[in-house]
Amino acid sequence: MPNILYNTNSSLISRFQRNSSTSPVTNSVSLISSSSSSTTSFLSKNNTASLAIGSKFRSKYEKDSEKYLKELCCSIYPKSTHKRINGMKSNFELQINAICALILQNFVLNWYGVKIPTTDETFLIEMFNLIQNLIQYVTRQIRDDSIDFEALLADDIPVILSRHIEAIRKSQLKTTENIDDSSTLYKEYRKIVLSDSDKYPEQITNFIKSLIEGSDSSTLQSSFLDSLFNELLFGRILDSLTEPYYVLNGTIKICNKLISKMESPSLSIKEPKPAFIQESRRWSFRSVKSYIGRLLSIITADYKPNSNGNTPVPEKHNLYQRYIISFFAIDLLRLPTKKPFMYSIIRIMQYVLTKSTTVQGITNNIFMNSLKKSSILAVDLIKLLRHTLFPTDSLMGPRRIIPTTEEQLKPMREEAVVKMMRVSRLYKIDFFLGLTQNDIVAVVDGCSFEKKKQNKLLIMQIMECAIAHFTRPMENNA
């Protein structure tokens, strides 16, 4: 860790500059002559001091390609880490390192080595090693199948979402009773979800620190990690991600992709068809055959855990008895009141399927094998997060001007409702599940400024739950 933890509002920097200016001339000349070359190389390597704000990272390779991500990481991390970076093969690992490197460049290298002149790269190397240790731990837990993803995704997270939806609906009823105070609504929300929001994010940070820090950890290291997680990651960055503008903008983009995917076959006959469309239609039978083959391989492949023997393997349970079915059918879609016949069919099928061990085995195989092959989704989410926070893969420019009032946000909310309703009709969701425009309006109303605290608390609870699942094998081994 560094010898100095820099604070932009600290008075120590002025004292440091004052002491430097009053030092003897001979000493200052010798210091400059001995360290000027190394300081120049250090600053030119991370090129943070010379980069213009908002400038774009330039590379001869295609953006988001393997070589592009390696070059991006090498442009920020010290030269001693380049061999390890160039040896990375996993796209997931490269995407994680790329976004962490950009966070380091924007929030650490803008003062370390610039406002506090130093040629010591130990701090940056330690940051790189810390990130690699976390990535290796997560990937090892996933590879050894020691994480109960079925319980996490089909039980725990649906329960958290269910409490969130129930609390939001009850708080809306309070609003109709002329209780418009946002703080009062937030207190009611906390009572329903049974959560003490004052413990966040400090409780999550302390738990992560207990995994990272060793017996030789210092007060300086602890203070730095507190600032990194509490103020930066769980503070500024998470606060930006929960802005209603970004949530609605992402929803509209997803809806546009779904709409274009559904409406692409209905192109006009007179309109020239692109070559890839003609090729896909020419080989449609082969494509269908290949798709069926992949589906059968997922269904029939017997999922076998890869446990190393030291880590307990999660016990398999009946997926049809998990809470996720009740969450979608009752909490989210309210089928018992809107589509009672459809709800009855779902319950009957659920009862019948729980009695068949063969169906249970096939379902578990589909779930776990699909989860194993869904790493590309995680990569896409990380890449989307990087593009949102750092669109130029360089220093962040001025903060984007976004709506700050409900009146300014109203056109975007109306557009989101129209897009989501269009998706519902194109995919027949409104017909089969009874989804109405009022339901969509209620979902979009959750993306409001008065519910920003609630949404942030929801993310904190999901993160806490996920961290508990990822660290449970470590506690069992201990």
What digits encode the pLDDT tens for the residues 399-430?
677 888 888 888 999 999 999 999 999 888 88
Does 73 lie in the same domain as 122? yes
Does 112 lie in the same domain as 43? yes
Of 119, 140, 161, which residue sits at a domain end?
140
**Higher-pLDDT residue of 53, 146:** 146
Q: Is the pLDDT of residue 266 over 70?
A: no
Nearest-10 crossing angle of helices 157-176, 452-477: 160
Check residue 89 and give left, alpha or beta (phi > 0: left; psi -120 to 50: alpha).
Answer: alpha
Could you read off the pLDDT of 205-256 as tens digits, one per residue? 888 887 776 656 677 778 878 888 888 888 888 888 888 888 888 889 889 9
Does 129 lie in the same domain as 201? no
Residues ≥6 apart with Cβ < 8 Å to 403: 244, 245, 409, 412
Asked if residue 16 is part of any domain, the answer here is no
Asked if residue 3 is part of any domain, the answer here is no
Does 215 lie in the same domain as 101? no
Asked if residue 231 is part of any domain, the answer here is yes
Q: What is the mean pLDDT of the chain?
A: 75
Taking the C-alpha atoms of 135, 58, 51 and 98 in order, what is their torsion angle to the nearest 10 degrees?
Answer: -10
Does 156 lie in the same domain as 132? no
Asked if residue 422 is part of any domain, the answer here is yes
Give yes or no for a contact between 382 and 97, defined as CB atoms under 8 angstroms apart: no
Does 361 lie in the same domain as 233? yes
Q: What is the mean pLDDT of residues 435-462?
A: 85
Does 312 lie in the same domain as 203? yes
Secondary structure letter of residue 319 according to DSSP? G
Does 334 lie in the same domain as 246? yes
Domain of residue 203 covers 144-264+280-477
Of the given ranges (225-239, 299-313, 361-375), which has the lowest mean pLDDT?
299-313
Asked if residue 22 is part of any domain, the answer here is no
Distances, alpha carbon 37 to alpha carbons 32, 49, 261, 402, in Å:
9, 16, 56, 44
Asked if residue 435 is part of any domain, the answer here is yes
Q: Tokens for 370?
A: 């699909």
Give the pLDDT of residue 290: 64
At position 4, the amino acid (one-letter code) is I
Does 239 lie in the same domain as 108? no
Q: Tokens for 224?
A: 């730095």
C-alpha 290/C-alpha 285 separation (Å) is: 9
Could you read off the pLDDT of 83-128 as tens digits, one per residue? 999 999 888 889 999 999 998 888 888 777 777 777 788 888 888 9
Could you read off the pLDDT of 159-171 as tens digits, one per residue? 999 998 888 888 7
Of 111, 140, 169, which residue sits at a domain end?
140
Of 78, 112, 140, which residue sits at a domain end?
140
Q: What is the pTM of this model?
A: 0.71
Does 81 lie in the same domain as 155? no
C-alpha 255/C-alpha 260 separation (Å) is: 9
Give the pLDDT of residue 237: 80
Report, in angstroms and rounded to the nearest whole number, the Rg of the chain calculated over CA atoms.
26
The number of folded domains in the chain is 2
Asked if residue 394 is part of any domain, the answer here is yes
C-alpha 419/C-alpha 416 separation (Å) is: 5
Give the pLDDT of residue 318: 75
Does 179 lie in the same domain as 260? yes
Asked if residue 179 is part of any domain, the answer here is yes
Does 389 lie in the same domain as 248? yes
DSSP string, 381-402: HHHHHHHHH-TTSSS--SPP--
Give the pLDDT of residue 140: 81
